[in-house]
Structure 1
Amino acid sequence: MPLKKLRIRQKILFTLERQLVKGAQFQLLLVAAFIGLISLVGGLLVMPSGPPTSTFGESVWWAFLRLSDPGYLGDDEGGWRRFISTLITVAGYVVFLGSLVAIITTWMNRKIRHLEQGLTPVTANNHLLILGWSNRTIHIAAEIFQSVGRIKRFLIRFGARKLQLIILSEEVGPFQLQELKDHPFIGKRANEIVLRTGLAIDREHLRRVDSLNASAIIIPSLAYGKRELISPDIETIKCLLSLNAEANLHRRHKLPYVVAEIQDEYKVKAAYRAYSGPLEVVGSNTIISRLMAQNIRHPGLSEVYNEILSQIVNNNLFCQNFPDLIGYSLGSIKKAFTKAIVMGVVSNSADRYIPKLNIPESHILEKGERLVVMARNSEDLVWKSASLSKEAPTSFVRSPLAPEETSETIRVLILGWNDHVPSLIKELCSYEEETYFVRLVTMRPVVEREKELQFLKENPNRVSLEHVVADYIRESEIQKTDAASFDHILMISSDRMEEEEEADARTMVGYVLLEEVLEKAKKRPSVLLELADPSNESLIRRYQSEVIISPMVLSHLLAGIALQRELSSIYSELFTVGGAEIIFREIGTYGISPGEIAFHEIEALAATHGETALGLALQPKPRRKNHLLLNPDKHRKIVLSEKDHLVVLTTVY
């Protein structure tokens, strides 16, 4: 049997360590024990020196006073007493003062770090809650702060006094707070945002942000750093299940309204099944692919959508009740709104919103219907009572114009790959009157592409696809793509990069190389870039291209729908093939000749053809700051040329 060595020193050190790690209370008790021990030893050593330390109690008290206050050092007489007093005083500096300061400082630092991490549960009512930190989160917060009119109505609806925004993030620290402060539309208001550490899929962490008492919850999806088995959609659906389970613990508790982002359209139904409360699901891949498809059909349309989606730019969509206008015709109401454009109505049926856009002017506004209006802000949602009339509007012969189509095959070059590409090609397959040839140039293996594009077998005649395996940021490879022969070129943000800056760097370098190829082209194709970081748009502004910043578009959608639920049905109607669509018209389509014309005259001409005029897309000029004019002054005279276009809302049957 092996002999056990004496390990007294190790045992003592281990015991001390276990006591010290228990916290400030145990550390203070240990220091108090040391102070008592030093006082006892000092008292015993100084007792033989005589009065005033003749008794044991007086000696211990004498030692404690020297230990705690060095001012007593000059009162001692005798060599031995002074020697002991000096040793005790030095020990007092080290043990009494040094240890106490160290313990209190460490405790304070630990407490501050704990508070900075956002682990303290919050108690709030009717707050806005964002679950997760992604490349959408900051833009969602900025969009909410800029939605002044909608925020006021939102607070009134829930009886709240002021906006309280809480963000649940996997990590909380100075970096996240600084990012919020650096955003130009948040700035100092970042201090109004409450940050809490946690995971959206953890029920305990959902309690930390008082999720069940929120007025609205936004769940943005993670676009980068995807894992093979746990996708962002799985985490979103798990979060919805957790919210449902929390509500089941409090059966009388009303479930909050949730706006969730789902990337895979096949998981949208699963999201609705996972949550039994009020829920709006935004299919991000579907939305972005539809915007790209619309831009292929109508180059320049991205600027229109960027404006109407954002609360920060000039014009926005509003959906409101106007009880005083019930019983009036839509034509009369349109004339009464002098600073806004009425696009249609939204009705509610069984808690489901049904939009009716670009409807006849003879439509009478009924009780329960809300007007869909484009305006610069909520203050422009006013009308002139003198313009209202109960009389039936003059009946025009509605002669709808079909969207401008081509019988030729539309050639599209796609450079790059991410989850939007399959959705985009699927969207192109839904346009029955058009055929497309798509050349797909990316480093992704063909086998993986074909696996995600199996739906093409159902519509082989509408979209013909050619696969090319190449890296488009190489000059020799991009010259082989024959880019100049295409009608449209799309540069897709890569999903293989861990960071947005890396993905955008590849896209922008590829675009600069593409510009060299297109300089010699006889007919320049339209070019659309997808970027992930809005700050990179300024780097390519001088080039002739359009930009879609996917996180910004999705942030606008999530924030807008959270504050006004009806907008979800309106956006869905505008982006879906068929039904109401925003398109460009040549001015000659309405019989307009180049020269001066007021916008209210254009509105009247559009109405005769069953369309709604939204604005003008003017030819860019050196002195012209904005070539896109949505909702212009209706009586302002605008000089039009043959190259200018009208922005109209039409109906595609």
Structure 2
Amino acid sequence: MKRFRIKERFKFFLERQFVKGAHVQLLFVALLIGLISLVGGLLVMPSDESTRSLGEEVWWAFLRLSDPGYLGDDEGSWRRFISTILTVLGYVVFLGSMVAIITTWLNIKIRSLEQGFTPVSAKNHILILGWNAKTIHTAGEIFQSVGRLRRFLRFYGAKRLNLIILAEDVTPELLQELRDNPLIGKGADEIILRTGIPIDREHLKRVDSLNAAAIIIPSSAYTGKELITPDVETIKTLLSLNAEAEDSPVKGRFPYVVAEIQDKSKIKAAYRAYNGPMEVIGSNTIISRLLAQNIRHQGLSAVYNELLNHSVNNNIFCREYPGAVGETVHDLKQAFPKAILLGVVRRVADRLTPMLNVAPDFTIEKEDRLVFITRNSSDIELNPNVSIQQKPPIQIRHKLKVEEQEGVVKILILGWNHHIPALVRELCTYEDEFYDITMVAVYPAAKREVELRKIENLTDRVTLEHIEEDYVNGSVLKNLNPTAYDNVLLMSSERVLEKEEADARTIVGYVLLEELLGSGRKKPNVVLELSDPDNEALLRKYKAEVIISPLILSNLLAGIALQREVHSICKELFTAGGAEIIFRNIEEYGLEAGIITFSELENKAAEFGEIALGIYHDNQSHKNDEKLLLNPGKFKNLEINPEVKVVVLTTVY
């Protein structure tokens, strides 16, 4: 037998009405006030000797309900009793409910504004889609790259920087993180935060993606999801952007996009997903190449950290000079005393092609962009009133060979992350070189083998051994005998979601390793990969070589967004073969210990077809920030000795 649940149905009805918003809530309160006023008017009518009408009595009741000041004006016990009840109900129903409803509505509105649900109306802005470990650093590099940013804004006709970040959940903590970043500081108030996910087209409209001058898509970290990987989300975002552009009433409005893809095999899919101008950086490939180059040339991490960090010291710049057309590279070098000319970027068959470490008689053509290493953009301003001095080029004696690894190079990898398969693949590309790699991690060896079997062209020259142990254990580390290896890599673990905890394991492992190595003569080259740049300061007294992956990738994303040619230059510099940065002993140039100006060092390197970039002190007495000196100035006196290496740009064939 069915029961009549009038009470439950009425409560459910009220609930469904009240969730519709403040306007419905106010309507219900108004009806309740009217009902109370009507009942109050009816109750006092028999006691009214003046025989007022029902309307006048209802108005009397409403006045007592809405204003307690009328309470002392009534006469008669019954009327005073009803008046008192109406006054009390007025405090509860009229005043209390109205204040509660309006306060709740204001809180919802303020929270909505704080979370960034309001669509923006912008033009020629820079848009970062997603909040992860790279977002803050990318924003900081954009703020810090003053010269590039100025030209970027001038190209798009924008007066000031409009930076918008789309985050999954905008909270006051995110804004505080931006303020705490030293590269942003007070500039955080100029950054617009909006809530949303980049794979949702409606959320892309919220940040006005179609009118953006540049869109940056940093890849998030692995979260353990096997099917929805960061690369899948990035490609889905590109498809959403493409659909928005194609459905736009303004045809051909495709913003310039810089996207990060971790898996090299998905880069082509990313390019197919978006029809507009785009640069895709393979993050695993870039980090693996930096690690591989550091294995082959110890100390290069200091060079990479300086060149790929736009906020300090020397950076890579690229600029077009119409007045330089027809001039040779040798003649142009004299026109930039505070910079080092590396070559040009030339458009060949609609592709940006870097031509670095070219011959002295290489001639600049129309639309060529010159590539420099310098401290700031003002150092590469070409004065049109100054004529370029033409001097006879230095004759190249002969080309020096780049020494390859001899014998079998033994590598110990402590920890596991998604960069390691890419590193193994990169080492396989170095012909005639042999590597014996031992991997120690708590990550299951069976899963590691599955990942490594996916590598194409895996060669017998690279042997792999897996050990399933926790290297943050003194006895385990001691049994590994790290002194028997040529290189030790400590990798930031991806199994720990918090970057601080991942770095804590890496740093503790390194401290234990240093204790084992002691002051012995034979010490392997130790390289750490960290996730948080703030943790680098903890290792300064150990003089460790550190690669901070999120920071390097953030700088690349920002640099490529502001200057597209940077991507092709970095790919050329950090790829096996072609232009490479290496170290040379002074004996290879026939130099002796003593004092030499950097200009003389440049000329000596030019005799062997190379470009001198600076010097590197290869001894333990120098601090990390004193070891490397890039672009010291043409006439700066340098003290060289057998422990000093020359940092050069050479060409590997």
Instruction: Give the TM bin, normalised by the shorter chain.
Output: over 0.9
Deviation of 1:385 (Å): 7.0
Contact 2:540–2:624 (CA under 8 A) maintained in structure 1 = no
After superposition, residues 233-272 of structure 1 pair within 5 angstroms as 233-250=231-248, 252-272=251-271
Cα separation, 2, equivalents of 1:327 and 1:641: 40
Contact 1:438–1:463 (CA under 8 A) maintained in structure 2 = yes
Query: What are the superposed Cα offsets for residues 41-66 of structure 1, whole Å, 9 maximum, x if unpaired?
Result: 22122223336662222211111111
Give the direction of change, closer, same or farther, for the CA distance of 1:154–1:70 in structure 2 (3 Å limit). same
Cα separation, 1, equivalents of 2:560 and 2:608: 31
* Residue in 2 that maps onto 1:590: 589
Kindly tell me the number of residue pairs found equivalent between the two proteins: 651
* Residue in 2 that maps onto 1:439: 438
* Residue in 2 that maps onto 1:636: 636
Deviation of 1:549 (Å): 0.8
2:101 partner amino acid: I
* Residue in 2 that maps onto 1:94: 92
Cα separation, 2, equivalents of 1:551 and 1:201: 22
Deviation of 1:386 (Å): 8.8
* Residue in 2 that maps onto 1:615: 614
Contact 1:53–1:59 (CA under 8 A) maintained in structure 2 = no
Match of 2:64 among 59, 63, 66: 66
Query: What are the superposed Cα offsets for residues 505-533 of structure 1, whole Å, 9 maximum, x if unpaired?
Result: 22112111111111153311110001111
Deviation of 1:646 (Å): 1.1
Deviation of 1:402 (Å): 1.3
Cα separation, 2, equivalents of 1:232 and 1:193: 25
Cα separation, 1, equivalents of 2:191 and 2:562: 17
Give the direction of change, closer, same or farther, for the CA distance of 1:453–1:44 in structure 2 (3 Å limit). closer
Report SS of the residue matched to 2:557.
helix
Deviation of 1:470 (Å): 2.0
* Residue in 2 that maps onto 1:13: 11
Give the direction of change, closer, same or farther, for the CA distance of 1:166–1:561 in structure 2 (3 Å limit). same
2:277 paired with 1:278: yes
1:524 partner amino acid: K
Deviation of 1:457 (Å): 8.7
Cα separation, 1, equivalents of 2:610 and 2:379: 23
* Range with greater deviation from structure 2 (584-593 or 266-275): 584-593
Deviation of 1:502 (Å): 2.1
Cα separation, 2, equivalents of 1:644 and 1:294: 19
* Residue in 1 that maps onto 2:396: 397
2:428 partner amino acid: C
Cα separation, 1, equivalents of 2:45 and 2:397: 115
Contact 1:504–1:532 (CA under 8 A) maintained in structure 2 = yes
After superposition, residues 103-182 of structure 1 pair within 5 angstroms as 103-182=101-180
Contact 1:504–1:536 (CA under 8 A) maintained in structure 2 = yes
* Residue in 1 that maps onto 2:213: 215
2:636 partner amino acid: R
Query: What are the superposed Cα offsets for residues 118-146 of structure 1, whole Å, 9 maximum, x if unpaired?
Result: 22222211111111111111111111111
Query: What are the superposed Cα offsets for residues 293-329 of structure 1, whole Å, 9 maximum, x if unpaired?
Result: 0001111111111111111111111110111222221
Give the direction of change, closer, same or farther, for the CA distance of 1:403–1:183 in structure 2 (3 Å limit). same
* Residue in 2 that maps onto 1:647: 647
Deviation of 1:288 (Å): 0.3
2:371 paired with 1:372: yes
Deviation of 1:157 (Å): 1.0
Query: What are the superposed Cα offsets for residues 195-215 of structure 1, whole Å, 9 maximum, x if unpaired?
Result: 111121112211221111111
* Residue in 1 that maps onto 2:503: 504
Cα separation, 1, equivalents of 2:387 and 2:399: 26
Cα separation, 1, equivalents of 2:140 and 2:244: 29
Query: What are the superposed Cα offsets for residues 571-602 of structure 1, whole Å, 9 maximum, x if unpaired?
Result: 00000000000111112222222221111111
Report SS of the residue matched to 2:613.
strand
* Residue in 2 that maps onto 1:190: 188
1:275 partner amino acid: Y
Deviation of 1:5 (Å): 3.5
Cα separation, 2, equivalents of 1:423 and 1:623: 31
Query: What are the superposed Cα offsets for residues 425-470 of structure 1, whole Å, 9 maximum, x if unpaired?
Result: 1111111132222222223333333333337794544222233232
Q: How many percent identity over aligned positions?
A: 59
Give the direction of change, closer, same or farther, for the CA distance of 1:46–1:386 in structure 2 (3 Å limit). closer
Cα separation, 2, equivalents of 1:16 and 1:384: 76
* Range with greater deviation from structure 2 (120-129 or 43-52): 43-52
Report SS of the residue matched to 1:541.
helix
Deviation of 1:83 (Å): 1.8
* Residue in 1 that maps onto 2:200: 202
Cα separation, 2, equivalents of 1:53 and 1:574: 100
* Residue in 2 that maps onto 1:534: 533
Cα separation, 1, equivalents of 2:231 and 2:4: 59
Cα separation, 1, equivalents of 2:46 and 2:447: 92
2:627 paired with 1:627: yes
Deviation of 1:9 (Å): 2.9
Deviation of 1:383 (Å): 4.4
Cα separation, 1, equivalents of 2:536 and 2:319: 34
Give the direction of change, closer, same or farther, for the CA distance of 1:605–1:138 in structure 2 (3 Å limit). same
Report SS of the residue matched to 2:629.
strand
Report SS of the residue matched to 1:542.
helix
Contact 2:396–2:606 (CA under 8 A) maintained in structure 1 = no
Deviation of 1:603 (Å): 0.8
Query: What are the superposed Cα offsets for residues 458-504 of structure 1, whole Å, 9 maximum, x if unpaired?
Result: 45442222332322111111111110011111111112112212221
Cα separation, 2, equivalents of 1:648 and 1:351: 30
* Residue in 2 that maps onto 1:34: 32
1:159 partner amino acid: G
1:118 partner amino acid: G
* Residue in 1 that maps onto 2:575: 576
* Residue in 1 that maps onto 2:517: 518
Unaligned runs of 5+ in 2: none
Contact 1:167–1:193 (CA under 8 A) maintained in structure 2 = yes
Report SS of the residue matched to 1:524.
coil
* Residue in 2 that maps onto 1:485: 484
Contact 2:334–2:388 (CA under 8 A) maintained in structure 1 = no
Give the direction of change, closer, same or farther, for the CA distance of 1:632–1:234 in structure 2 (3 Å limit). same
* Residue in 2 that maps onto 1:417: 416
Give the direction of change, closer, same or farther, for the CA distance of 1:11–1:616 in structure 2 (3 Å limit). same
Report SS of the residue matched to 1:453.
helix
Report SS of the residue matched to 1:626.
helix
* Residue in 1 that maps onto 2:357: 358
Give the direction of change, closer, same or farther, for the CA distance of 1:402–1:22 in structure 2 (3 Å limit). same
Q: TM-score, normalised by structure 1?
A: 0.96
Report SS of the residue matched to 1:217.
strand
Contact 1:233–1:264 (CA under 8 A) maintained in structure 2 = yes
Deviation of 1:632 (Å): 0.7
Contact 2:394–2:603 (CA under 8 A) maintained in structure 1 = no
Query: What are the superposed Cα offsets for residues 87-133 of structure 1, whole Å, 9 maximum, x if unpaired?
Result: 11111111111110000001111111222222222221111111111
* Range with greater deviation from structure 2 (406-415 or 455-464): 455-464
Query: What are the superposed Cα offsets for residues 606-631 of structure 1, whole Å, 9 maximum, x if unpaired?
Result: 11110011111135646996221111
Cα separation, 1, equivalents of 2:397 and 2:284: 36
Report SS of the residue matched to 2:334.
helix
Cα separation, 1, equivalents of 2:6 and 2:105: 30
Give the direction of change, closer, same or farther, for the CA distance of 1:387–1:595 in structure 2 (3 Å limit). farther
Give the direction of change, closer, same or farther, for the CA distance of 1:521–1:35 in structure 2 (3 Å limit). same
2:343 paired with 1:344: yes
Report SS of the residue matched to 1:573.
helix
Cα separation, 2, equivalents of 1:248 and 1:369: 32
2:271 partner amino acid: Y
Give the direction of change, closer, same or farther, for the CA distance of 1:276–1:286 in structure 2 (3 Å limit). same
Q: TM-score, normalised by structure 2?
A: 0.96
1:161 partner amino acid: K
Contact 1:66–1:88 (CA under 8 A) maintained in structure 2 = yes
* Range with greater deviation from structure 2 (492-501 or 388-397): 388-397
* Range with greater deviation from structure 2 (623-632 or 88-97): 623-632
Match of 2:223 among 219, 222, 225: 225
